[in-house]
């Protein structure tokens, strides 16, 4: 084996930003209660109803409640920070962008799940954890957000390319939802909530966002 200096570079990488939102964390209990009450008062139409998972309309950013407004504001700032971190914008360029965003929430009960989805017409997706179930010893993916493998990986596997380390691992990536944490990733990335196999709910706030630069036409309103 050669001892020459070797530079290993992750190419074609997908950004995943994780941030702690301390102010939102403090409000989580109250926000969770608010969302539960809303869900109880606004049942989903029977055809789309899932008794183990409530998925709201995407009008959360238009709510007037102060706590929800504060939490969503922090989430959107987290998306802005992600955009700043992964691009080469100057502060002036960043300021010149305008964000369009939609927000919703989901409450997943034990034995509930959300099938894989991705967002069209969306550049960034943010998922904030309001409350999470305990990890389940016998089901390691309970309580995670699973981000799907998106590379055109080879169908040829041998003893060396099937066990590579992160970020080169071929396969899905799991982000364990922790109350007070926000994950931001590209909106095109397919993701799902695997079945919850522990006591406690998983309550998540999701935003999908896109940005319009000066002089760009943008899109019609969501």
* Residue ranges binding another protein (CB under 8 A): 49-52, 111, 113, 115-116, 118, 120-121, 138-141, 146, 148, 150, 152, 154-157, 162, 172, 187-188, 190, 194-195, 197
* CA separation, residue 8 to residues 44, 134, 165, 176 (Å): 49, 37, 12, 27
Q: Which is nearer to another protein, 70 or 190 (CB)?
A: 190
| 77-95 burial code (b ≥16 CB/10 A, e <16) | ebbbebbeeeeeeeeeeee
Nearer to another protein, 96 or 150 (CB): 150
Alpha-carbon gap, residue 7 to 78, rounded angstroms: 32
Residues 6+ apart with CB under 8 A from 216: none
Please tell me the distance from the alpha carbon of residue 145 to that of residue 132, in angstroms, as a whole number.
11
User: Can you list the alpha helix ranges (DSSP code H) found in 1-65?
Assistant: 22-41
**Alpha-carbon span 3 to 10, nearest angstrom:** 21
Q: Cβ of residue 50: shortest distance to another protein, in angstroms?
A: 7
Instruction: State in angstroms the smallest separation of the CB of 174 from another protein.
Output: 10
Which lies closer to another protein via its Cβ, residue 14 or residue 70? 14
Least Cβ distance, residue 2 to another protein (angstroms): 28
**Residue 29 vs 111, nearer CB to another protein:** 111
Q: Which is nearer to another protein, 100 or 188 (CB)?
A: 188
- Closest to another protein by CB, 70 vs 188, is 188
Shortest Å distance, C-beta 113 to another protein? 5
Minimal distance, residue 195 CB to another protein, in Å: 5
In the complex, minimum distance from the CB of residue 183 to another protein, in angstroms, rounded to a whole number: 19
Kindly report the number of other CB atoms within 10 A of residue 21's CB atom. Answer: 22
Cα torsion 23, 123, 44, 180 to 10°: value is -20
């Amino acid at each position: 084996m050669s001892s020459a200096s070797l530079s290993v570079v992750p190419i074609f990488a997908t950004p995943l930003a994780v941030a702690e939102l301390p102010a939102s964390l403090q409000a989580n209990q109250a926000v969770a209660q608010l969302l539960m009450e809303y869900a109880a008062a606004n049942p989903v139409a029977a055809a789309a109803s899932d008794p183990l998972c409530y998925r709201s309309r995407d009008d959360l950013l238009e709510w007037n409640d102060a706590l929800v407004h504060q939490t969503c504001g922090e989430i959107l700032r987290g998306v802005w920070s992600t955009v700043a971190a992964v691009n080469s914008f100057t502060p002036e360029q960043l300021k010149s962008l305008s964000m369009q965003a939609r927000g919703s929430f989901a409450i997943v009960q034990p034995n509930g799940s959300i099938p894989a989805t991705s967002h069209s017409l969306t550049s960034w997706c943010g998922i904030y954890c309001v409350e999470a179930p305990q990890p389940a010893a016998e089901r390691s993916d309970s309580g995670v957000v699973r981000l799907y493998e998106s590379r055109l990986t080879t169908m040829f596997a041998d003893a060396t390319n099937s066990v590579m380390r992160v970020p080169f691992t071929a396969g899905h990536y799991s982000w364990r939802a922790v109350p007070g944490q926000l994950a931001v990733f590209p909106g095109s990335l397919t993701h799902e909530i695997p079945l919850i196999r522990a006591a406690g709910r998983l309550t998540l706030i999701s935003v999908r966002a896109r940005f319009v630069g000066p002089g760009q036409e943008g899109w019609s309103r969501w």
